[in-house]
Amino acid sequence: MTRANSDDKLLMVIGLKNSSKTVAVTGDGINDIDALEHADVGLSMGTGCSAAKQASALILTNDDFESAIRAVMWGRNIYHNVGRFLQFQLTCNVSVILLVVFGILFFGECPLSAVQLLWINLIMDTFAAIALSTEPPMEKVLKAPPTSRSSILTAPIWRQVLGVSLWNFGIIIFLYVFGGYIGGLESFSYYGDQLNTKDPQECYKYLDTIPKIKASDKALAETCATFWGSV
């Protein structure tokens, strides 16, 4: 193609694009302008004419093709990092939305307090997302096929977001319902309901008034009261 005229180069670019190919064109002269404009990525030489530079997307200031490879590697890395950032943020927020809506509908209250929601969004999400979005590029990104232009959030990413969100939601609901029994804190809830009080110290003080108390329950209630404050 070095001695082809501008029409031949343009015809090659259009033919490749019609074949669902991603086309990159390099040039430095007047006869490269049409091909540079119609290509997916146009790269002009730094020593080329000004018209070719204006028609291109990238300018190789040092006329080194290795610079183009590095530019592609960093560009793809930014694309992937943005995808990781969005995937992490969507997963966390979808999980929280499901938890809040489910808790209000079935438990009559939100399982997470306002402070906990702020902690999740401002502390946990922020630093983890920054770490994901600043990962350096790896050479294997050059071997990957061109990415989709429709959206960064592709179908596989949405499947991962929904799958992990449902998993997180299930684990949190399980811990919310059965966490007290697993951690041995069901005694306060039981005795508090019996005494019509939410104060664990009252629960501990009037343990002897509750019928059919087991020794293990006394120990659990004492632990609960000690956790909230001495009696």
Do 124 and 80 sit in the same domain of this protein?
A: yes
Both 24 and 50 in one domain: the answer is yes
CATH number at residue 27: 3.40.50.1000
Which residue shows structure tokens 């071997």?
143
Determine, yes or no, domain membership for 121: yes
Q: Are residues 23 and 49 in the same domain?
A: yes
Residue carrying structure tokens 């592609």: 72
As a whole number of angstroms, the distance between CA 12 and CA 6 comes to 10
End-to-end Cα spacing for the chain: 90
b vs e for 67-97, b when ≥16 Cβ sit within 10 Å of the residue's Cβ? beeeebbeebeeebbebbbbbbbbbbebbbe
Cα 150 from Cα 125, distance rounded (Å): 26
Say if residue 77 is in the same domain as residue 166.
yes
Q: Which domain holds residue 146?
A: 68-170
CA angle at residue 71 from 144 to 58, to 5 degrees? 120
Q: For position 166, what pLDDT does the model report?
A: 94
Clarify whether residues 23 and 44 are in a common domain. yes
Residues 74 and 89 grouped into a single domain: yes
**203 and 218 part of one domain:** yes
Residue 159 belongs to some domain of the structure: yes
Last residue of a domain, one of 26, 41, 63: 63
Do residue 84 and residue 50 come from a single domain? no
Judged against a pLDDT cut of 60, whether residue 209 lies above it is answered with: no
Q: For residue 223, what pLDDT is reported? A: 57
Note whether 112 and 135 are same-domain residues: yes
Q: Which residue has the tokens 């950032």?
A: 85
Q: Tens of pLDDT along 142-193? A: 887 777 777 788 888 899 999 999 999 999 888 888 776 676 555 555 555 5
At 230 the pLDDT is 46
pLDDT of residue 164: 93
**Hey, what are 117's tokens?**
């929601």
pLDDT of residue 119: 82
What letter represents residue 83's amino acid? G
> Which of 63, 84, 105 is the last residue before a domain boundary?
63
Q: In terms of domains, do 83 and 155 share one?
A: yes
Judge if 125 and 151 occupy the same domain.
Answer: yes
Based on the fold, state whether residues 81 and 161 are members of the same structural domain. Answer: yes
pLDDT, tens digit, for every residue of 118-138?
888 787 777 877 888 788 888
| Comparison of pLDDT for 203 and 117, the residue scoring more | 117
- The pLDDT tens digits of the residues spanning 19-38 come to 888 888 888 888 888 888 88
Nearest to 144 by CA among 91, 83, 90: 83
For the chain, how many structural domains are there in total?
3
Mean pLDDT of the chain: 78
Average pLDDT, integer, range 71-98: 87
Q: What is the pTM of this model?
A: 0.62
Instruction: Check pLDDT > 80 for residue 11.
Output: yes
- Percent of the residues in the chain that have a pLDDT greater than 90, as a whole number: 7
The band of 231, judged by pLDDT with boundaries at 50, 70 and 90, is: very low
Q: Residue 42 in contact with residue 29, Cβ under 8 Å?
A: no
